[in-house]
Amino acid sequence: MTEAELLGDVPIRPGSGADAPPGCGPLAPPSPRNPKPLRQSVFEHVRAQGRAARADIARALSVSAASVTALTAELIALGLLREVGGAPLEGREAGRGRPPVALEIVPEGRHVAGIKLAEERHSAALADFGGRILADAIRPTAPGRRSLAEAVDEVAALVAALRERAPHAPPQAVGIGLSGLVDHATGEVAWSPLLEGSALPFRAACEDRLGLPVHIDNDAHVLTLAELWFGAGRAISDFAVVTIEHGVGMGLVLDGRLFRGTRGMGLELGHTKVALDGALCRCGRRGCLEAYLADYALVREASTALGRSLRAPQTPQAVLETLYAEAKRGHEAARAIFARAGRYLALGLSNVVQVFDPALVILSGERMRYDFLYAEEVMAEMRALALPSGREPARVEVHAWGDLVWAQGAVALALGAVTDETLGRAP
């Protein structure tokens, strides 16, 4: 049993659940606006399906059978695909004669690590090329900000723990998610509540220490990748993920791809302004959405409502748990705090729906355990704040995953990068 399972924290598994499809990666067909080399599309289709016959690949990608035969032969020669003779295929009924020969990826062909750096616990996962988790690690962290060197030490320790637990599967790349303004393209962290300083060359420092390619992104983006590769977003071309934990984050998939903005630092929903000269946000500005909704905002209100001083020897997490317990018991002031936070959440969600019109909005993060935040009153207010369109409102789902799913999103970040590096260039 893994450490995460012992802690009751199990990630989304490829093919987990009675109705979950096998494989990993987006199931929606590739968009013509985001073209990829055909051999990469073939490989990704097989990985997403789990197994696929050549004829099914040709139909799904609208290419000739001869092209698929040539490309799959090349991928087999590269050690990336293999034949599974006589294997039943998903969705095919058993019948007479031999079943068509299936193709599947060679999962042990590549391995990647994914890491989520957080304020209370860091989490890490090691996966094969098919997204299967081979090892994981969760470590408590010291409170407060750390220097760049200290953060790199923590990353190196997590990678070492994964290597120790799976010495047969050394990673070829590492994906890292952390909160703040993270530029995926340059590898620079402009600002993070976890780190001291600004404009930090985080990716370069990690690569120098690990001797491996490193890919970094905002933590809400990596959680969105977890949904796109392993979760509810696999078959959806347009969806949004809103996270509520120590801050408020957002990820967005448009046309089957993660949207980051021009400089890779867009979609900072928590720092959109909901009140002029409003509450002070940890970013140093006033009136941000997360200043009314994130952990520190609820703790600030709880200290008054429950008659507790922030200087009391009680952790913010303990204050939140007490606040929630009092609200469940009917404490009016405690319930009012969650109701107010819920109204601000409704405002933020209505803006997301109005601007992007996603098919699905996923609410995720540890705070989704607090059901007052997504009560029917909150959803009704969200719908009321958005302009009526005569159509069904955006579907909203709540996913209260634990720590390890964030690391699995970082795995997806690294898997995508390794796939692009391996197959994205013309042969």
Q: What is the pLDDT of residues 71-82, one digit of tens each?
A: 999 999 999 999
Q: What is the pLDDT of residues 379-400, one digit of tens each?
A: 888 988 888 766 777 889 988 7
Angle at 397 between CA 273 and CA 182, to 5 degrees: 45
Topology classification of domain 237-358+366-400: Nucleotidyltransferase; domain 5 (3.30.420)
| Whole-number average pLDDT of the chain | 87
Whether the CA torsion 412, 413, 414, 415 is positive or negative: it is positive
At 12, is the pLDDT very low, low, confident or very high (cuts 50, 70, 90)?
A: low
Identify the pLDDT of residue 1.
41
Identify the pLDDT of residue 419.
97
Give the mean model confidence (pLDDT) for residues 334-353: 92
Give the mean model confidence (pLDDT) for residues 361-371: 81
Q: What is the pLDDT of residues 44-62, one digit of tens each?
A: 999 999 999 999 999 999 9
Same CATH fold assignment for domains 111-225+410-423 and 237-358+366-400: yes
CATH number of 3-108: 1.10.10.10
pTM of the complete model: 0.88
At 166, is the pLDDT very low, low, confident or very high (cuts 50, 70, 90)?
A: very high
Lowest-confidence pick of 110-114, 298-302, 366-370 = 366-370
Q: Domain coordinates of the chain in residue numbers?
A: 3-108, 111-225+410-423, 237-358+366-400
Q: What is the pLDDT of residues 278-327, one digit of tens each?
A: 999 988 899 999 999 988 899 888 877 787 544 556 778 888 888 888 88
At 20, is the pLDDT very low, low, confident or very high (cuts 50, 70, 90)?
A: very low
- Which CA distances in Å does 27 have to 54, 76, 175, 218? 17, 22, 22, 24
Give yes or no for residue 22 having a pLDDT over 50. Answer: yes
Tell me how far apart the alpha carbons of residues 201 and 107 are, in angstroms, rounded to a whole number. Answer: 32
The CATH homologous superfamily of the domain defined by 111-225+410-423: ATPase, nucleotide binding domain (3.30.420.40)
CB 268 within 8 A of CB 283: no
The residues, ordered by sequence, that sit 6+ positions from 142 with a Cβ below 8 Å of its Cβ are none
Identify the pLDDT of residue 5.
46
